[in-house]
């Protein structure tokens, strides 16, 4: 039985059924623009549309959220409507969708998928994943175990939040060339290398498809190996679905 994964982002909401045993999408994903304002009611209506596009799925739904999530409650809302602050999201989605919903941080979900099925598979030590999109998400692992809700995209770099200098949104808005943007990303990665002495960096998000254009500029600024996410922007969907499926079985 496949499990539905939903990935809520600042610009788009994506959904797809996931084969959680293999870590692959079981059908082509669907994407709908994030409503503006992105209130819980408006986002739930989009999630419901995505659910209806995959009537063959049943059981729990895994949902990612771009912010800190504790026990299904969304605690921050940097790139979505402030109505999500301190909001019982899992309970809300469960009621709106008519089936159990599990909500977790988007980068944590992507990291879990990459560690199980992707670029971090079999890697011990400290692994840091950064997702580059509307903001910068992060996930950090020690011997495959997640420290949740790190949100390193909000640390200060050159007097600004890291994601205000080096997110993919900033690259688009400022029309930065790939090497120039890669140097900005490299500053963020170098700061994290100095703080955590990791064994591997994984760069995720849709921009990981173009890793050859900017990762060399990033690697020039750090000693630790940096690799693109193998699951690219499918990682969040896969990770969310896996967590939801395992919540149903108690795994």
- Give the pLDDT confidence score for residue 108 in this predicted structure: 98
Q: In which residue ranges of the chain is CATH 3.30.420.40 found?
A: 3-108+234-249, 122-230
pLDDT for 45-97, tens place per residue?
999 999 999 998 989 999 999 999 999 999 999 889 999 999 999 999 999 99
Contact 135, 167 (CB under 8 A): yes
- Give the pLDDT confidence score for residue 39 in this predicted structure: 97
Mean pLDDT in residue range 6-35? 96
Contact 19, 2 (CB under 8 A): yes
How many helices and strands (H and E) does the chain possess? Answer: 8, 16
CA neighbours closer than 13 Å in the CB half-sphere of residue 181: 24
- Give the pLDDT confidence score for residue 118 in this predicted structure: 98
Q: Tell me the sheet residues that pair with 65.
A: 105
| 1 pLDDT more than 80 | no
Q: Check residue 209 and report its DSSP letter.
A: G
Q: Find the DSSP H helices in the chain.
A: 40-52, 89-97, 106-117, 162-166, 168-174, 178-196, 211-219, 235-249
| 251 pLDDT more than 80 | no
- Domain 122-230 architecture: 2-Layer Sandwich (3.30)
Q: Domain 3-108+234-249, what fold?
A: Nucleotidyltransferase; domain 5 (3.30.420)
Please tell me the pTM assigned to this model. 0.95
| 202 pLDDT more than 70 | yes
Mean pLDDT in residue range 92-105? 97
């Amino acid at each position: 039985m496949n499990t539905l994964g939903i990935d809520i982002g600042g610009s788009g909401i994506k959904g797809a059924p996931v084969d959680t045993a293999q870590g692959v999408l079981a059908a082509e994903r669907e994407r709908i623009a994030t409503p503006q304002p992105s209130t819980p009611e408006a986002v739930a209506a989009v999630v419901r549309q995505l659910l209806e596009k995959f009537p063959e799925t049943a059981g729990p739904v895994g949902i990612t959220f771009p912010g800190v999530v504790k026990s299904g409650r969304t605690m921050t809302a940097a790139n979505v409507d402030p109505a999500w602050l301190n909001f019982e999201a899992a309970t809300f989605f469960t009621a709106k969708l008519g089936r159990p919903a599990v909500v977790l941080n988007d980068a944590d979900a992507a990291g879990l998928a990459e560690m199980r099925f992707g670029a971090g598979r079999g890697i011990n030590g400290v692994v840091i994943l950064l997702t580059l999109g509307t903001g910068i998400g992060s996930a950090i692992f020690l011997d495959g175990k997640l420290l949740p809700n790190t949100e390193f995209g909000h640390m200060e770099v050159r007097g600004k939040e890291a994601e205000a200098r080096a997110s993919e949104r900033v690259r688009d808005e400022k029309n930065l060339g790939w090497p120039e943007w890669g140097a900005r990303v490299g500053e963020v990665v170098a700061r994290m290398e100095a703080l955590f002495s990791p064994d591997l960096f994984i760069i995720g998000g849709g921009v990981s498809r173009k890793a050859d254009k900017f990762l060399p500029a990033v690697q020039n600024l750090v000693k630790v190996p940096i690799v693109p996410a193998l699951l690219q922007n499918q990682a969040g969907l896969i990770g969310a679905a896996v967590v939801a499926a395992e919540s149903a079985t108690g795994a």
